[in-house]
A and B are shown apart, each in its own frame.
Chain A
Amino acid sequence: MMSYELIGISVLWLFLYGYLIIASIDFGAGFFAFYARLTKQDHLINRLISRYLSPVWEITNVFFIFFYIGIVGFFPDTAYYYGSALLVPGSIAVVLLAIRGSFYAFENYGSKKNIVYLFLYGATGLLIPASLSVALTLSEGGFIVEQGETVSLDYWALFTNPLSWSIVGLAIVSVLFISGSFLTFYASRAEDHSALKLMRNYALFWSTPTIILALTAFIYLGQHNERHFQNMMDLWWLLALSIAFFMTAMWLLYNGRRYGLAFICIMLQFFSAFFAYGIGQYPYILDPYITIQSSATSPAMGLALVVVFIGGLCLLIPSLILVFKLFLFDADYVKGKK
């Protein structure tokens, strides 16, 4: 029997992974929509993007809140340390998320074709992953100062460390890579050949920086947190799998076939890397202040959360399947006939 805190962190990690994928699609789509407008190619892809995003943008946002409420629920100490330290970067993320969410709705349901809205939407799509990835950097330790009753963030250490910059860089380029390859798949379903060509180029282009920055971040991690690095090296087979999935996806994309499978490979690529990273960090949530065991909530609450979680999934999974059937796998909808 697994302890509830282990169930908790596994489930939350899974949700964070889910957010990573669907938010990347969303964030990247915003950037591509803006970039396409600038290069006068927007007629090719904008309809495709808004057709996919309009019914699901709100769901994306919930994934994030879900992870966040889950982690402070299962591990209340995280609220104290991360909350105190992340006041500024967290508030920046709040402002960016607010601008992005509302301006999406203003643009899409309100007045269309406003370049300012589109710019804000596109720019925030890259800045949000950058600001959120700070939390991931913090978890490696060395950036938080605790003096008596106060916990604060050591900005100097954060801004001068190559690890934090490589994580930010990785977050941004993987957003573009994931999004590009998903939209390639979506365009192929819609049989929209011009959009397909454009998106495929984007996906292929962003694959190289993704893999380079992933390696860079990994090397800097080794210099910053020996323990985490060693743990990940012990999980070498997961990392090897990740690279194998990446190669397969690239081969499929390059040869221009089976785009669905290619996207699944990319999902699996990130899945194995993300879990190798997560398992390697165990048992710490914030090195060295918070471990999974030390910060866990009371057993009664842990149990209640797990129960609610299972109940909630029984509601959510069928509903999500319904959404996918109606908007993702309904060929007529994708092609714009409904």
Chain B
Amino acid sequence: MAIDTVLWSRLVTGLTLGFHVIFATIGVGIPLMIAIAEFIGIRKKDPHYTLMAKRWSRGFVISVAVGVVTGTAISLQLALVWPNFMKMAGNVIALPLFMEVFAFFFEAIFLGIYLYTWDRFKNPYIHWLLTIPIVAGAGMSAVFITTVNGFMNQPGGFVMEAGQFTAIDPVQAMLNTATFSKVFHVLSSAYLTGAALLAGIAAFAMLRKGVSTYHKKSLNLMMAVVLLFGLLNTLAGDVSAKFLAEHQPEKLAAAEWHFETGSGVDLVLMGWLNAEHEVLGALHLPKLLSFLAFGDFNAEVTGLEEFPKEEWPPLLVHYLFDLMVGIGFALLAISVLYFLFVFKKRNALNKWMLSILALIAPLAFLAVELGWFYAEVGRQPWIIRGYMRVEEAATSSPNVRIIFFALLLLYIVLGSMCVIVLRRLFNNNPAEVEMEKWMKDHPNQSTDKGGTA
């Protein structure tokens, strides 16, 4: 019975976080894109970009609403579903949680102002300045909440005494060894995903209704951001792998099905395991795991057999890891390909290319989900690695099973409503129509600066 409630507690949290992370990523990534578009719009005096910022922020609010409510859900669930965890860890992680709320508070205030002051200031830069606290607030809340997750992976900043944390140093707990690589990877992937989403939407719109100036500009701008953050994100992934090799070798070993410690280890792609833990049907890249882990083709990498079996993470995480990394490289490759087409003056907007570009939006979100599932499942069986196991932390209430289904229903409703509302919002009011309306109101300015359709 006890095990049962633990499983349901994990499912409840996994469900809420899996749903929340979609909107959280949008919440962190999109404000930066809005800020960039509005800035370029003011700078170039090109109303297309201003319209982009307006339309994006209109859609953004809808997704923020879902992000806010699922974020509220997860913060309450920390205590409702994991009361023992909060009782013990609350002493150490309250600070970043508190700071996260402040950052979010800050963002919420300025988002409200931003949305309702489009035409209130004479100097357009003043309105643009409002995006800075929004981008900063969104980014900082991601930073703070990620330090909490870092703590759960690399606990620090306390002394363990008779089952209690004592001599607590909250700042040191925040700046644990996992924090830097995690924050870097979370932020770079969120910006990458935000840009990929908007680029994908532009490509999809052109695929359906033909090429238009507005969508072309939007695609160009966002693909540049995808390229930039694709590169940064690859670097962040590399930093994360090196961190794992040094501090959490069992997670990396599980991801790579690396059982026996050795040097000059191969990187294993896909494949499957037999009962004796032999890897079959996989693609081996010689010595690449050693290089990935330590930047040296002959370095020694710790294998899973160094750890007691009851502390092994589930071996399934191998697929999550491979797919995440694969998508990361695919996104980078697509953006490079796109700009090769553009610079070679080939038609980058042909049907095939647009189809591939439209795909990058779902791919990026899939990679975010896979990455988080890898990171979280990969630290099982621990909730606080090395200190508290998941089954010691969960609620003992059998009601948690019913709550899982109630939440599942809720998220299905919220998710589909969100999609319906967003589709209606944009399909009933295409960018071209809005642009024409703008032209009527401002007959003296032309829109064909910066390229024609």
B407 contacts the other chain (CB 8 A): yes
A66 contacts the other chain (CB 8 A): yes
Q: Which residue of A lies closest to B174 (CB)?
A: A304
Partner of B86, one of A55, A56, A79, A87: A79
B273 contacts the other chain (CB 8 A): no
Partner of B65, one of A56, A77, A102: A102
Please report the C-alpha to C-alpha distance between residue A56 and residue B91 in the assembled complex, in whole angstroms. Answer: 32
Q: How many interface residues does chain A have, given as a range?
A: 35 or more
Partner of B94, one of A109, A305, A315, A320: A305
Partner of A110, one of B86, B98, B406, B421: B421
Partner of B113, one of A95, A150, A323: A323
Q: Mark B234-260, 1 if CB is under 8 A from A, else 0.
A: 000000000000000000000000000
CB contact list, B403-447 vs A, under 8 A: 403, 406-407, 410, 414, 417-418, 421-422, 424-425
Please report the C-alpha to C-alpha distance between residue A151 and residue B69 in the assembled complex, in whole angstroms. Answer: 27
Please report the C-alpha to C-alpha distance between residue A284 and residue B64 in the assembled complex, in whole angstroms. Answer: 37
A300 contacts the other chain (CB 8 A): yes
- Smallest beta-carbon distance B192→chain A, Å: 26
Secondary structure type dominating chain B contacts: helix
Contact A87 B397 (CB under 8 A): yes
Please report the C-alpha to C-alpha distance between residue A316 and residue B104 in the assembled complex, in whole angstroms. Answer: 11
Residues in A with CB closer than 8 Å to B165 are 298
Partner of B425, one of A58, A74, A82, A109: A109
Please report the C-alpha to C-alpha distance between residue A68 and residue B79 in the assembled complex, in whole angstroms. Answer: 10
Q: Mark A32-75, 1 if CB is under 8 A from B, else 0.
A: 00000000000000000000001110110110111011101110
B75 contacts the other chain (CB 8 A): yes
Q: Mark B68-81, 1 if CB is under 8 A from A, else 0.
A: 11111101111111
The stretch from B115-123, B215-223, B279-287, B361-369 touching chain A is B115-123
CB contact list, B81-131 vs A, under 8 A: 81-84, 86-92, 94-95, 97-102, 104-106, 108-113, 115-117, 120
Residues in B with CB closer than 8 Å to A80 are 79, 83-84, 86-87
Q: Which residue of A lies closest to B396 (CB)?
A: A150
A101 contacts the other chain (CB 8 A): yes
Residues in A with CB closer than 8 Å to B84 are 80
Contact B116 A327 (CB under 8 A): yes
Q: Which residue of A lies closest to B61 (CB)?
A: A109
Contact A58 B68 (CB under 8 A): yes
A91 contacts the other chain (CB 8 A): yes
Please report the C-alpha to C-alpha distance between residue A308 and residue B400 in the assembled complex, in whole angstroms. Answer: 34
Residues in A with CB closer than 8 Å to B75 are 65, 68-69
Q: Which residue of A lies closest to B403 (CB)?
A: A91
Please report the C-alpha to C-alpha distance between residue A319 and residue B100 in the assembled complex, in whole angstroms. Answer: 17
Contact A110 B62 (CB under 8 A): yes
Q: Mark A84-116, 1 if CB is under 8 A from B, else 0.
A: 101110110111011111111110011100000
- Chain A to chain B contacts (Cβ below 8 Å), 7 pairs: A68-B75, A76-B91, A77-B87, A102-B414, A111-B421, A312-B99, A327-B116
Chain A residues engaging chain B, CB cutoff 8 angstroms: 54-56, 58-59, 61-62, 64-66, 68-70, 72-74, 76-84, 86-88, 90-91, 93-95, 97-106, 109-111, 149-152, 297-298, 300-301, 304-305, 308-309, 312, 315-316, 319-320, 322-323, 326-327, 338
Chain B residues engaging chain A, CB cutoff 8 angstroms: 58, 61-62, 64-66, 68-73, 75-84, 86-92, 94-95, 97-102, 104-106, 108-113, 115-117, 120, 133, 165-166, 168-171, 395-397, 399-400, 403, 406-407, 410, 414, 417-418, 421-422, 424-425
Report the 6 A-B pairs with minimum CB-CB distance, sorted nearest first: A73-B94, A76-B90, A105-B65, A83-B79, A79-B86, A110-B421
